[in-house]
Every structure is written in C-alpha cells, then in structure tokens.
Chain A
Amino acid sequence: MPPAPRTVSHQGPASGAQAAGGPVLSIAGLTIRLGADAIVEDLSLDVRAGEMLGLVGESGCGKSVTALSIMRLLAEPPMRVAAGAIGFGGQDLLALPEDRLRRIRGNDIAMIFQEPMTSLNPVYTVGDQIAEALLLHRDLSRRAALAEAETLLARVGIPAPRGALGRYPHQMSGGQRQRVMIAMALACGPKLLVADEPTTALDVTVQAQILDLLDDLRRETGMAVVLITHDLGVVAQYCDRVAVMYGGRIVEEAPAARLFEQPRHRYTEALLRTIPAANPPGADLPAIPGSVPQPGQRPPGCAFHPRCPAALPRCSAEAPEITAPPHRFACWNPAQ
C-alpha cells in the first residue's frame, strides 16, 4: 500500500539536471490581477534544463493562471500582469511583441492541457494536425512532415502509428489523445514543456503510462518540464523539485524528497498529514478545518492563517517573505 509520501525517492533527479547551469525559465515577482484582486502574487520560480518541477496546490490557487502567463496566453483582459518578469532564453517574455512570442510558443515552449479533446481540432486528422505544427515552425515538405509525425506518434507509444495518422481525435481513447498532444508538443523539440494536469482526466493505469513517457522524454532530451497537478503522490514519484501554492502564492519550494520528509510551511505539513495514504485505514484523518479561500476573499497576512493550527498574531497582519533556496518557505512559525 502507498506509504506516507515522506519516503525518499529511489529514482532521484535526472542525471546532471541540477548541475546543468542556469535556469531555462526564471519567473520573478509575478503578480497577476483580476480587477483589484491579486490572482497570483509575487511569484518567483526557476526551472532548469532536464528538470521536472511539480507545481501543486488546491483548486483555484493559481496554477493554471501561472502556466498561461508563461505562454502569454492569459485572458487579458480581464486578467492583467501587474508586475514581474518571465525570463526565458535571455529575454523577458512579458516584454516581447506578439510576433516574437508566436515563434517561441510551440517552438521553444510547449504546453499540454488536461482535456486534450478541447485542444485538438475535431475536423482534422491527427496526422494533419501534427504535420501542421511542424510546418508552422520548420522548413519541411508536407511529405517529410507526415513522416516525422509518424515517428513522433511511435515515440509516444501510439500503436500502428502510420494508421493513426489518418484517424480523427474522436476515434481515439483519452489516453491516446493525450499522447497525440504530447507528440504535438514535442514536434519542435521545445526546451520547456508546461503540462497542466495532463493526466487528471485519465484512468490511473493510463496515467502511469503518460507520466512514465514524460519522464523518459525529459531524461532523453533535456527538456525542462513544469508539471502542474494537485496530486502529491504524482509529485513524490516523478518530480525533482516541488513548489506548493496556496492562495496565489508559492508558500514552499524544495527538492521533492526534502519537502516530503521535512515540510516547513504549516500548510504543506497539514496537507501531507491529511491524505488517506499517510494514515492507517479507518483512522480519523487529521483534517484541515475550513476551505480554500477564493481570490478576493483571501485573508490578509498569510492566506492560510485562518486554517492554521500554529498561527501567531503576526500571521494575520503581515504576509511572510519567502526564504532563500534551496528550501524556500513563507511562514512566520515554520514546522521544525
């Protein structure tokens, strides 16, 4: 049975990932507002080549908004970036004009979403869609593009890839569609892949296939992956590093094994304790009282303080600064 997710991963980070020089992506002080409400607040995060970084948090904490802002695909308006920088390849994505961004999107940065059906075009065959993605960014003949599409489908484990080229998305299962999305994302050899809950809609046995595939790909190609999920087990198994979000902010970030062994933020600590797998069957779970605050209703100070068992008077008055890497946390009364 699943042990508490505090055990150390045997697999460890991708070889050399940690050593591979500077970050591929460097978000600094990102604040995103909807009207007066901060949806994402003062968020800083680095991702290195070959690394799989887990971005976890409960519904509404701002994971997808953060992901979309990296791609500059945020719904602006009503959303707007109020502050910050997103460094990628020596430039600030937030300062680039749309035509330059278009070259980066799909070429250097790719994204996959939770529901592949909504991102695949139902009226084109899978082969045409992948070929289209290739032709958009590379100087190829149509024939060469289709041949490469077949190679990509084989790579992501689609059986009989040649036949699959002629199929429409609705003729495939959910797991196969997600593989097609991954094939499209890989088409141009991106340096960074942002995967927003890529397996949430899938069955567990298919989820394992897809996550193994992403893990292999980043180890082989050195592509950096931001894996967005609300599943701590997924993070524990696959990620080198984890950033935990609560109420629009990163509240803790550390190497995965470290975070599961020794969480410092009281929210992370409480969250790890409350999951069923960390408790004996039938026992009452150490539940966290209350619910996740929506933006606009987030309390002042540390957003977790009304639910926190260790809150001090200061926690409701002042938002804590986040500490320095490698184990960052933003808590006035951290767990020891």
Chain B
Amino acid sequence: MSLLELRNLSKTYPGAGGSTVQAVADVSLTIAPGEVLGVVGESGCGKSTLGRTLLRLTEPSGGQILFDGQDITGLRGAGLKAVRRNLQVIFQDPFGALNPRHTVGQIVAEPLLVQGIGSRATRAARVAELLQIVGLPEGAARRYPHEFSGGQRQRIAIARALALEPKLIVADEAVSALDVSVQSQIINLIAGLRRRLGLAILFISHDLSVIRHVSDRIAVMYLGRIVEIGPAEAIISAPRHPYTQALLSAIPRAGVSRADRIVLKGDLPDPSNPPPGCAFHTRCPKVMDICRQRRPELAGARHASACHLPEAQP
C-alpha cells in the first residue's frame, strides 16, 4: 500500500486583479514507504505549493490527501497533530527556518516538546543522538544557529525534522542554497538517513541533475500540473513529454552542440492566465492543432505522460 496518495489535489490562490492562480491543478500521485519521489519543474510551477498542501500547511482547494490509508484532507486539532508526527519538512533557507534566539538544542527538541514527548532529560539525550546522526559536533546543542555554516544549519534543520521519526519528509529545495562542495555532503546525509530509517521523501528541486541522483521516481511539473511521472531512469533516458526533453537538454554540460539541444522559445506563461489546451503548447517545438484545443490526460501506468504526440503515448 502507498504511504501517501494524492487524488486530484488542487490549490488556487487569488491572483492580481481578481484573477485566480491555479498553483496546483488536479495532481494525483502516490509515494510508497521508503521511496524518494523527485519533483522537478521551473519557478512557479507549483512544487512548493504541492509540498505545503500535502503537509496540510495550506488548505487544498480540491481533492484528497490520504496518508497511511487515512483521509487527512479535512483533519484538524488533535487528529492533525497526530498525523504531523509522521510528516516533516526541510526548507531551502535553513537560516530563515531556524529561530536565531534559540539554541540548537532547543530547536531540535521543539517538535518533541510540541508533541509532549519525553522528560527534559530524555529529550536532551534524544537531541544528542540526533545531532550525532546528522554529523554535528557534540557541543552544538548549546550554540546558536548563526555560529554555523550554511551546510551545518541544514544539518540542524534535518535533525529537527527527524526528531519525531517521521515516515515522510518533504525536502523543498533543501540543498539548493548550498555550495557545491557542501551540497554533496547533505545529499549523502539525506540518502543515508533514508536507507537507515526507511524514510519516504518528496524531494523538490529545480535542479534535474540533483533530482536524478536522489530519486526512485520523478514527477515533472509545468504550470501546476504533472506532465510526466515515472521511474527515474525512464524519465532520464527515455523522456516522453517534450517539456521533459527540453528540461533535460537545457542542463548545461560539456560536449553538447547547439544542434543536439532543444532550446525553448519564450518564457513561462502567466500562471493566472494559462494557455488553453495543453499549457505547454505556446513553447512546444512539436505543437499540433489539437494541443491548442484539448488538454491531454496523464496516460500510462508506471511511466505516464500528458501529451497528444503519438510518440509520447505509453
């Protein structure tokens, strides 16, 4: 059984001048226990909104969220608090997410305190254990976030996320702000924890080479919708959707000539006024008439894509 299941999840925000922004539109997906699902797409495509909505940090406008078989879409109060134990999050900006006036020990112990777990002494012991798991020095508990580097702060945020032994972590651009040489340490840490603790992770990033490295499966989003989802190696080596193909080909690297690349024209459309039909049709190098009129359904079992092109069919 899947650990998390989203059924037709949607989220709209009020946009400028009375318009609405469809930040997440009709997203259905599952995550198995211990699985890493990578979510990739360009700025504003709805990755963070998807993460926040499934964590119940923001209210969905439609659809259902099932966790461990339980519908948590409408949960509040004690019921929601109980589910929260199993759902944690790590954000991009570790500094903004850590209270500068609290010691690292207080920060890491906070979820335990909120859930009313343990005594002062057992919490302190748990904090020491968590700091060790994420590779921070013993004395770190008594120090303050500003005394740490960016990579170490992200370790603190990870320790806090692990405090309640969650089953699912949403990592939203968790390594994006880090230096390259530190990014790899944190990727290794997250991958190791996942192996040791059997964590499932929704790994959000705009960096396809990071996503490819950490994910079992990958979902590609464009203007609020999943346009392709499937096993990581299939998405990378045999992408079906022209947008996925363009994203892959836009990764800068040595040895690619212009002729081999698909460079999309234009910019992302305004999300409060998405193009009719397939939202990608305004930039698609293979656009057909039908694409301007009808939105393609996400079709396929293990590897699914939403595209009218014959070659994109499962």
Contact = CB atoms under 8 A, between A and B. Distances in A.
B247 A204 contact: yes
A260 B181 contact: no
Nearest to A272: B180
A8 B254 CA distance: 6
B49 to A, nearest CB: 17
Interface string B191-211: 110000000000000101110
Given A204-B42, A237-B252, A58 B264 contact: no
B188 A203 contact: no
Chain B interface mostly helix, strand, loop or mixed? helix
A144 B250 CA distance: 38
B300 to A, nearest CB: 21
A161 interface: no
B248 A1 contact: yes
Contact of A287 (B188, B253, B256, B266): B188
Nearest to B263: A208
B180 A58 contact: yes
A260 B212 contact: no
Interface in A1-56: 1-3, 5-11
Interface residues of B, number: 48
A286 B213 CA distance: 13
Interface in B210-246: 210, 212-215, 232-233, 236-237, 246
Contacts of B97: none
A231 B210 CA distance: 13
Given A2-B253, A212-B263, A291-B182, 14 more contacts: A1-B248, A2-B251, A59-B150, A205-B250, A208-B252, A208-B263, A234-B252, A236-B253, A271-B181, A274-B181, A276-B212, A284-B192, A285-B184, A287-B185
23 contacts: A1-B212, A3-B254, A59-B179, A203-B268, A205-B250, A205-B264, A207-B252, A208-B250, A208-B263, A237-B254, A256-B254, A276-B210, A277-B253, A281-B232, A284-B191, A287-B188, A288-B184, A288-B185, A289-B185, A291-B151, A291-B181, A292-B181, A292-B182
The 3 A-B pairs of least Cβ separation, nearest first, read A236-B254, A276-B213, A285-B184
Interface of A: 1-3, 5-11, 58-59, 159, 173-176, 203-209, 211-212, 230-234, 236-238, 256-257, 260, 270-271, 274-277, 279, 281-282, 284-289, 291-292, 307
